[in-house]
Structure 1
């Protein structure tokens, strides 16, 4: 391999396993993932990405992409891996209510800047996730029931395709590629910049209500009934949370099971208080942090961890949440279960998340999914832990849609038949055809891969 030639073309670092900076360049959020590419390119801009893609294609190597490292699930051995953390351009058009971000921008930076202007975006639960990677996977966040998926509001993307060309793609310039990029992550190229719409979200009523674990049954059964009548302005989820007795955990939550209800309401504060009141009436809270919040404090809704850690996850989609499903969740993770989990979460979907977007994309779970279900544990992926999670999720099969959401697909979900579950049969055939046209050699295969049509 002509690494000397690649280094002359790339402004950023070009590293191999022999270089001292190699391991640091490959750091991820999920510490269970260890990347081992042949070459790492620390891209500073689109031209570095183009050089890396052309180098990979010339040597018959696959391309992998690493941004914040939350979605790292697929082994990168033998690849050319592009890191994007140096690509941090961020511009907000206040009057046009749009943002343009480069591939290394994380949600925390955009949330801060947009919040100063009285604007909000369709960010996810964690502020440390990369904006572009999250959006390419769909983008399910605290304001989804009101506005839909983040992917639904993308205006344009700058993408380096498998031939090393830099293209600006819109729904008008290339409707097939635009549609395919949104909902498939890195299957069709490296998106180096993205422009999308913002919303007038200066503040909202929300946050987290933590109730004692012994009330978990009351909380979950109330939640399944309560969601039947809430307006689209209310996005909510409920979670069984079992945090360790560690110094970074708030003292009231250390080493105990709690039921954590998360609210994000885009409406009148008094109406928000009325909607939350039934949960407050269940008993004395461990913590009640539900109040009127500025958009810049949106991370308080879920209070996701911000420090890297080893995480093992499983997820599925539910078409309904009857009492029997709730009882199953409580049996596996409720009081007395001694579950090896830190969380078991149900997110309410519906609203705008169930409606087709104005500009079509490949986020295909909206048709019949009413809830997302997710479990996570902290620690190495042992057989016992993985089997417990699979048994837990499998026990909910009577109420699942049979489909999967790409941003909640993990290391064990990369088999072709599993990847296909993120799409309708018709859409998956179309995606494979678009792949054949734009990446016939499947250069972009270090992901939940969509193989090109024959």
Structure 2
């Protein structure tokens, strides 16, 4: 093996702005870790280390390249969940969308795997199939521009959800985004995307007007409803390219006030609580557009040392206090505590603990696999059964004691108003999104297998209680062992259409690390 000497290669963070090609060859040279990282990218005939740098030299000023064994690299690839996580050899943060195009072409020319990085909250274990290659970190592609007519906005591909929310709100606008402030805008949208405002307007992806996407062949395409690819990116988008920007619908802020009532219960109330949720909130799938109900199960020993507590939220738009018509049936059940808060739309995520500084937004080195399941409604007896299993599996001596169970009950009226055949997202008729989040400190393959078995045990109890033969799961929360039908729909025409489009736009399966669709 011949190594190319370059003092630039030894830097932990390297800016294309000051790049010079290596000038000297020395077969006896011992490589630095950075040089070794780049050389391991040379897996194609005629594509050695010098060829990689020759190609990379064309990237624009401001693009950053980071190497292993450096703080900068570690920060660039750190993930929220560390089970089945991807491994990369080098991290590149492109400064422009044309740099994204060039990076995909470089990777194709040198037969290097690549994976787009954004908020790094994707937790599916299929990402672990990425064992080397380039991470394309989109964080420099951040920004929101509102159109002069005030009816649309363009969001760059690396923009954080909170940036979108805050920029629009400051200009009297809003749109559907993910609920968690620390996730990217684009990541949830590519899987359909749930949000606080979906009762009015539909999923995140339903707001899209057009998009710019770098496909597997290294082409930058502008797509809209006239493109066959449009259907696929709205629900299976992780499989078809890197979206560098999207133009979306935005709406005037009509109601500035929001309110929440937070009720906490012991586990003995589980059946009565979720029966009340069916009767007074879900209402057979017609939950009012201004109402959201969420709940968490978690261990808080100072409050209840005997088992997980249930924290139940009733959120209402357009009021300074949640209407007692909604809260009274739940207060009558005898909660441990009842608290009320009022504010504006920007406060909602903090109320349920998923603001930027909230515990779920922190990257702590933990494993955080989730086991999602859509349901039509709560089955109170199944909820009691799964509570008992969750309690047993998260006892104080369990490695999973810090786990959560999440129940997300958005209004679905805006989602159901959209033609189900118009997008790859397949499960518009379901009213609830549930997910066990099995949190633990990574340790061994045996522990990972135990976590997988536990998460699926919980999911299977709820599935059995649904009376369904088929599972409906949310691709953005997927563990990674779900079937394509469970992720993308059980209708044969859906899987056939995804396969057809995959064979057209990504025949070599360059985008195949995030819950492969075909």
| TM-score exceeds 0.5 | yes
Aligned partner of 1:27 among 60, 69, 78:
78
Structure 2 CA distance for partners of 1:210 and 1:44, relative to 1, 3 Å: farther
Counterpart of 1:395 in 2: which secondary structure? helix
Tell me whether 1:370 sits opposite 2:397 in the alignment. Answer: no
Which of 441, 445, 451 does residue 380 from structure 1 map onto?
A: 441
List per-residue Cα deviations over 1:310-343 (Å, max 9, x = no partner): 2132111223423322222332236997374532
Q: Residue 57 of structure 1 aligns with which residue?
A: 108
Q: Does 1:197 align with 2:197?
A: no
In 2, distance between residues paired with 1:90 and 1:101? Answer: 5
Offset of residue 429 of structure 1: 0.8
Does the 8 Å contact 1:160/1:190 carry over to 2? yes
For the 8 Å contact 2:404–2:439, the answer to whether it is kept is: no
In structure 2, distance between residues paired with 1:18 and 1:345: 36
Q: For residues 196 and 15 of structure 1, do their structure 2 counterparts lie closer, same or farther at Cα, with a shift above 3 Å needed? A: same
Tell me the SS of whatever aligns to 2:361: coil
Q: 1:157 to 1:272 in 2, by over 3 A?
A: farther
CA 1:106–1:18: 2 relative to 1, 3 Å: same
SS in structure 1 opposite 2:279?
helix
In the alignment, structure 1 residue 313 sits paired with structure 2 residue 364: no
For 1:258 and 1:10, locate their aligned partners in 2 and report how far apart those are by CA, in whole Å. Answer: 52
Moved more, 19-28 or 154-163: 19-28
- Please, which moves more after superposition, 329-338 or 141-150? 329-338
Q: 1:419-443, CA deviations, whole angstroms, 9 ceiling, x for partnerless residues?
A: 5x54632112111111111111111
Tell me the secondary structure at the aligned position of residue 22 of structure 1. helix
Runs of 4+ in 1 over 6 A off after TM superposition: 252-256
* TM-score (ref. length: structure 1): 0.87
Partner Cα distance (1:326, 1:358) in 2: 29
Unaligned runs of 5+ in 1: 246-251
> How far apart are residue 233 of structure 1 and its match?
2.7
Question: Which residue does 2:22 correspond to in 1?
Answer: none
Q: Are 2:385 and 1:323 equivalent residues in the alignment? A: no
- Mapped to 2, the partners of 1:213 and 1:335 lie a distance apart of 15
Tell me how far apart the structure 2 counterparts of residues 373 and 396 of structure 1 sit (CA, whole Å). Answer: 9
Asked which structure has the greater RCO (Cα within 8 Å, sep 6+), the reply is 1
Cα shift readout 1:99-119 (whole Å, capped 9, x = no counterpart): 321122111112222222332
Query: Which one of the candidate residues 296, 314, 324 is aligned to 2:346?
Result: 296
1:249 is matched with: none
Q: Does residue 142 in structure 1 map to residue 173 in structure 2?
A: no
Which of these residues, 176, 184, 187, is aligned with residue 236 of structure 2? Answer: 184
Select between 297-306 and 357-366 the one with higher mean Cα deviation. 357-366
Q: What CA distance in whole angstroms lies between the structure 1 residues aligned with 2:305 and 2:244? A: 41
Using the TM superposition, give the Cα deviation of residue 360 of structure 1 relative to its aligned residue in structure 2, in angstroms: 2.1
Distance 1:230 1:35, change over 3 A: closer
Secondary structure of the residue aligned to 2:199 is helix
Indicate conservation of the 8 Å contact 1:152/1:360, yes or no: no
State the alpha-carbon separation in 2 of the partners of residues 200 and 388 from structure 1: 45
Aligned: 1:257 with 2:308: yes
Counterpart Cα distance in 2 of 1:336 and 1:77: 31
2:57 aligned with 1:8: yes
Indicate whether 1:110 and 2:164 are aligned. yes
> Is this contact kept in 1: 2:420–2:428, CA < 8 A?
no
**C-alpha separation in 1, matches of 2:427 and 2:458:** 21
**Equivalent pair of 1:15/1:40 in contact (CA under 8 Å):** yes
Deviates more, 1:196-205 or 1:399-408: 196-205
**Alignment of 1:427 onto 2:494:** yes
**Displacement of 1:183 after TM fit?**
0.5
CA drift at 1:281 = 3.2
Whichever of the two has the greater Rg, that structure is: 2
Pick from 285, 288, 293 the counterpart of residue 231 of structure 1: 288
For 2:392 and 2:288, locate their aligned partners in 1 and report how far apart those are by CA, in whole Å: 31
What is the match of residue 82 of structure 1? 136
Find the aligned partners of 2:328 and 2:200 in 1 and give their Cα distance. Answer: 21
Question: What is the 5 A alignment of 1:264-283?
Answer: 264-268=315-319, 272-283=323-334
Equivalent pairs counted in the alignment come to 439
In terms of mean alpha carbon deviation, does 227-236 or 423-432 score higher? Answer: 227-236
What TM-score, normalized by structure 2, do the two folds share?
0.77
RMSD across aligned C-alpha pairs, in angstroms? Answer: 2.9
Partner SS for 2:193? coil
Partner of 2:12: none
Of 133, 154, 158 in structure 1, the residue corresponding to residue 187 of structure 2 is 133
Structure 2 CA distance, aligned partners of 1:333 and 1:221? 19
Residue 28 and residue 356 in structure 1: after superposition, are their counterparts in 2 closer, same or farther (change >3 A)? same
Give 3-state SS (helix, strand or coil) of 1:82's partner: strand
Identify if the C-alpha distance between structure 1 residues 271 and 18 changes in structure 2 by more than 3 Å, giving closer, same or farther: closer
